[in-house]
Amino acid sequence: MAERTGPVDTQDSDADDPVQDTYSAFIKHIQQCPPCRKDGADCDTAAGLRQAWRKAKDAAVAA
The stretch near Zn ion (CB under 5 A) out of 3-11, 19-27, 37-45, 50-58 is: 37-45
Single out the segment in contact with Zn ion by CB under 5 A; choices: 3-11, 15-23, 32-40, 50-58: 32-40
Residue 16 C-beta: closest distance to Zn ion, Å: 27
What is the closest distance, in whole angstroms, from the C-beta atom of residue 37 to Zn ion in the complex?
8
Distances in Å between the Cα of 20 and the Cα atoms of 8, 35, 38, 39 are 12, 23, 24, 24
Distances (CA, A) of 44 to 4, 8, 36, 49: 12, 17, 10, 9
Give contact residues for Zn ion (rule: CB under 5 A): 33, 36, 43, 46
